[in-house]
Amino acid sequence: MSAFVVQGGRRLEGSVQVHGAKNSVLPILAASLLSGGECVIKNCPRLSDVAASVEILRHLGCRVRREEDAVIVDASQPTGWEVPDELMREMRSSVIFLGAILGRMGRAKLCAPGGCELGPRPIDLHLAAIRALGGTVEEEGGSLLCSGALRGGEIVFSLRSVGATENAMLSAVCAQGQTTITNAAREPEIVDLQNFLRCLGADVQGAGSSVITIRGGRPLHGGEFTVMGDRIVAATYLAAAAAAGGDVQVTGADWRHLSTVTAVLAEAGCTVESGLRAIRLRRTGPLRGVRPVRTAPYPGFPTDAQAPLMAAMTVSTGATVFVENIFESRYRHVDELARMGADIRVEGRVAVVYGVPALHGAPVQAADLRGGAALVVAALAARGESVVTGVQHIDRGYQDLAGDLDLLGAQVKRSGEFVKIT
Ligand code: UD1
């Protein structure tokens, strides 16, 4: 069993570059299925979720290879339209392939994703989008069968969903005619997907706003594209420096995508300088409690940064209220943080963190990706040794957490078997 063994209590100093964004590269890999040529996807991180997406593409008949930081997909002759159960289970967000497979192959069969570690994960909005473009959806025996020649239409979402917006975009690119997506999610990763689709010759406009317009039906060619930097990995490293104290620079992510996170860290007493090349965070004095942190769709405070920030706030002076508005079950890190001495009370979607003078090292277990990263953040601030297990969750979104933190002078070792992800 793998674990991160962390010797806490050391200040972090130095510079670290974040890898390509997981939440950007997954829909981009799905989108590569729509291309008639070769897609060279650069800055593609080595993550278990990326490996799972590559397996799905191969299963669908694409040729996929890696050359250094690039994944190269040749989808000129796809043959498959079904994603088997075992590949769906590898990655929760594999539903992102639905629109692309249906659009490219005229039909798609996937097993319905159930709940996940963050609570129920409904896909009603994904299916509504497909129906709005004339696709039919049959649900039988836990499988979803979608078919039909798609045509442009009006998609109006009742709430902003990142995955449903991406699925709608991929379906609409294949649908003949014009599609308008209203109340679209506005995350930077959706803009990245738009840019990738444009690089393949698609006509997509409006991503980053709440209305996206697509003129679909054009054949797509190959292209070369560089994936944006991972803003959540950047937020994690900034939270780590806030928790442990120190002076760090994070490069490779766009500071504008992190302004709600850096604003909170500044309010907590850190000095943050955001520039085009790097975000620098210094924490010399104590961390202070801040006004309530409410997670919200972009440009609000990201739910994915809630757990790492909470880990930092456990060692603040005063109290901080967190309100988790996106997912039902996103406080599974709280009991583990308590094992390290944190004082956190949870009631439904609200968690109140009462800062303590110090945490102590403890054996803790990650139950989900960002919650797992939060345990490492807390361990860096804690006195003594912590052992964080459940590392497979962290591998979904951090290419080399121990190596990156080592660059910042932290003492984090990975023990146990290490499966190198290509
Ligand atoms: C994506 C991100 C994830 C992030 C989340 C919110 C990827 C691969 N994952 O997940 O890291 O935490 O956005 O920023 O990009 N919902 C429905 N019906 C649907 C779809 C969603 O009710 O058909 C609800 C969800 O239960 C949730 C909310 O909408 O409460 C937002 O979820 P959504 O934006 O879809 O998250 P994901 O795309 O799954």
Cα 112 to averaged position of ligand 1 atoms, centre (Å): 15
Which ligand 1 atom is the nearest neighbour of the CA of 96?
8
SS3 258: helix
pLDDT tens across the length of the chain (422 residues)? 789 999 999 999 999 999 999 999 999 999 999 999 999 999 999 999 999 999 999 999 999 999 999 999 999 999 999 998 888 888 878 899 999 999 999 999 998 765 456 566 789 999 999 999 999 999 887 888 999 999 999 999 999 999 999 999 999 999 999 999 999 999 999 999 999 999 999 999 999 999 999 999 999 999 999 999 999 999 999 999 999 999 999 999 999 999 999 999 999 999 999 988 899 999 989 999 999 999 999 999 999 999 999 999 999 999 999 999 999 889 999 999 999 999 999 999 999 999 999 999 999 999 999 999 999 999 999 999 999 999 999 999 999 999 999 999 999 999 876 555 66
Q: Whole-angstrom Cα distance, residue 248 to residue 245?
A: 9
pLDDT at residue 208, as a whole number:
98
Q: Are 230 and 46 in contact (CB under 8 A)?
A: no
Spatial contact of 298 and 161, defined as CB atoms under 8 Å apart:
no
Tell me the CB-side half-sphere exposure of residue 16, using CA atoms within 13 A: 28
Q: Which amino acid appears at position 85 of this protein?
A: D
- Answer whether 159 contacts ligand 1 (Cβ < 6 A): yes
CA-closest candidate to residue 397, choices 48, 83, 37: 48
Residue 306 has which token pair?
Answer: 């809630």
d(CA 23, CA 167): 13
Catalytic entry in 44, 116, 146, 174: 116
Choice from 96, 161, 324, 329 to test ligand 1 binding pocket (greatest atom count within 8 A of CB):
161
Tell the CATH topology of 22-226.
Answer: UDP-n-acetylglucosamine1-carboxyvinyl-transferase; Chain (3.65.10)
**3-19+229-415 matches 22-226 in fold:** yes
Q: What is the helix, strand, coil percentage profile of the chain, to 5?
A: 35, 30, 35
Task: Assess contact for 178 and 216: CB atoms under 8 A.
Answer: yes
Determine the Cα–Cα distance for residues 379 and 402; give it in Å rounded to an integer.
Answer: 12
- Ligand 1 nearest-atom number relative to CA 232: 11
CATH superfamily of 3-19+229-415: Enolpyruvate transferase domain (3.65.10.10)
Ranges of beta strands (E only) in 167-292 are 177-182, 203-205, 211-216, 223-226, 246-251, 271-274, 279-283
Helix (H) or strand (E) holding 82: strand 82-83
Q: Please tell me the predicted confidence (pLDDT) of residue 279.
A: 97
Those residues whose C-beta lies under 8 Å from the C-beta of residue 120, and which sit 6 or more positions away, are 328
Please tell me whether residue 370 adopts helix, strand or coil conformation.
Answer: helix
For the question of whether the overall pTM of this predicted structure is more than 0.85, the answer is yes
The verdict on the CB of residue 124 being under 6 Å from ligand 1 is yes
Tokens of 171: 């379906």
Choose one of 156, 261, 326, 368 to mutate for the ligand 1 pocket test, by most ligand atoms within 8 angstroms of C-beta.
Answer: 326
Structure tokens of 408? Answer: 């910042």
Residue ranges of domains in the chain: 3-19+229-415, 22-226
Q: Give dist(CA 173, CA 218) in Å, integer.
A: 8
Name the closest-CA residue to atom 32, ligand 1: 161
Atom of ligand 1 nearest to the CA of 189: 15
pLDDT of residue 307: 98
* CB of 303 sitting under 6 A from ligand 1: yes
* Å from CA of 171 to ligand 1 middle: 18
Residue type, 79: T
Mapped onto helix, strand or coil, the DSSP state of residue 93 is helix
8 Å CB contact between 352 and 320 = yes
Distance CA 378, CA 139 (A): 43
Q: How many angstroms separate the alpha carbon of residue 7 from the centre of ligand 1? A: 35
The number of the ligand 1 atom at minimal distance from the alpha carbon of 185 is 34
pLDDT at 94: 87
pLDDT of residue 105: 95
Q: How far is the C-alpha of 321 from the C-alpha of 389, rounded, in Å?
A: 27
Q: 3-state DSSP call for residue 215?
A: strand
Q: Is 116 a catalytic residue?
A: yes
Residue 120, pLDDT score: 63
Instruction: At 287, list the tokens.
Output: 């961390």
Per-residue model confidence (pLDDT) at position 223: 97
- Span from the CA of 160 to the centroid of ligand 1 (angstroms): 8
DSSP string, 6-72: EEE-PPEEEEEE--B-HHHHHHHHHHHTTBSSEEEEES----HHHHHHHHHHHHTT-EEEEETTEEE
Distance CA 377, CA 309 (A): 9
Give the bridge partners for 20, in sequence order. 229
User: Which residues are registered as beta bridge partners of 321?
Assistant: 352
**Ligand 1 centroid, distance to 162 Cα (angstroms):** 5
